[in-house]
Structure 1
Amino acid sequence: MAQTMVNFRMDEDLKKNMEQVCADMGLSMTTAFTIFAKTVARERRIPFEVSADPFYSESNIRHLEKVVSGIEAGTAKIAEHDIIEVD
C-alpha cells in the first residue's frame, strides 16, 4: 500500500499533550491518526460524539476566569451552603 504525507496545523500545547497521551498508550500520533482515519473510512462517521458542551462556551470561560481572578485576589464573595446528603 502506497503511503502519503498529510500535514495540518495544530496548537503546540495540544500537540504536546496528545503526544504524551499517545506515548502513555504505547502509540505514536501517526498510529492514533491512522486508527481514526481507518475508523472514519470503514464506518463512514466520526467515531465519537461531536457536541458543543455549554460549559466550554466563551461566555462561561470568561465568567470562570473572572471568578478565579477574584478568588486569587481575595475579593471574591463565595457563598456558603449546607451540604445535602442523599441516601
Structure 2
Amino acid sequence: MSARVKPELKASVEKIFDELGLTSSEAIILFLKQVELHLGLLFSIRLPGYNTHTMHVIREASNDDDLQIFDNADEFFKDLEI
C-alpha cells in the first residue's frame, strides 16, 4: 500500500506521531486495524452544508419582505407573546 501525502501534512503528523512514540507506518497500521475492528471509519464523512429543505427555507426567508429582525431573544419572545 502506498499513499501520496503533501509534504507539509506529512511533516506535521510525523511530529505528533513522534510524540506518541509511533512511526508513520505504525500509525497507519493502527488506523487500518481500527477500521477492520469497527467495519468502517471511526468518524463520519459528510459534505458540509445544509440539506435541501434547510437551504430552501433560508432562501425563502432572505427574500421575504415581511421578515422581522429582532435585537435579542427577549424581543423575539415578546413578539410571539411567550
Q: TM-score range by the shorter chain?
A: 0.5 to 0.7
> Which segments of structure 1 move beyond 3 Å, counting only runs of 4 or more?
51-54
Residues 14-35 of structure 1: CA deviation (Å, up to 9, x unaligned): 0000100100111111111101
* Corresponding residue for residue 11 of structure 1: 6
Which SS does the other structure have where 2:37 is aligned?
helix
* Corresponding residue for residue 75 of structure 2: none
Residues 29-49 of structure 1: CA deviation (Å, up to 9, x unaligned): 111110110011111110123
Task: Give % identity.
Answer: 22
Aligned pair count reads 49
Structure 1 residue 8 displacement after superposition: 1.1
Distance 1:20 1:52, change over 3 A: farther
* Distance (whole Å) between structure 1 residues aligned to residue 23 and residue 48 of structure 2: 28
Normalising by structure 2, we get a TM-score of 0.53
Normalising by structure 1, we get a TM-score of 0.50
Q: Which has the larger radius of gyration?
A: 2
Matches within 5 A, 1:76-87: none
Which ranges of structure 2 fall in alignment gaps of 5 or more residues? Answer: 50-82
The one-letter amino acid paired with 2:11 is K
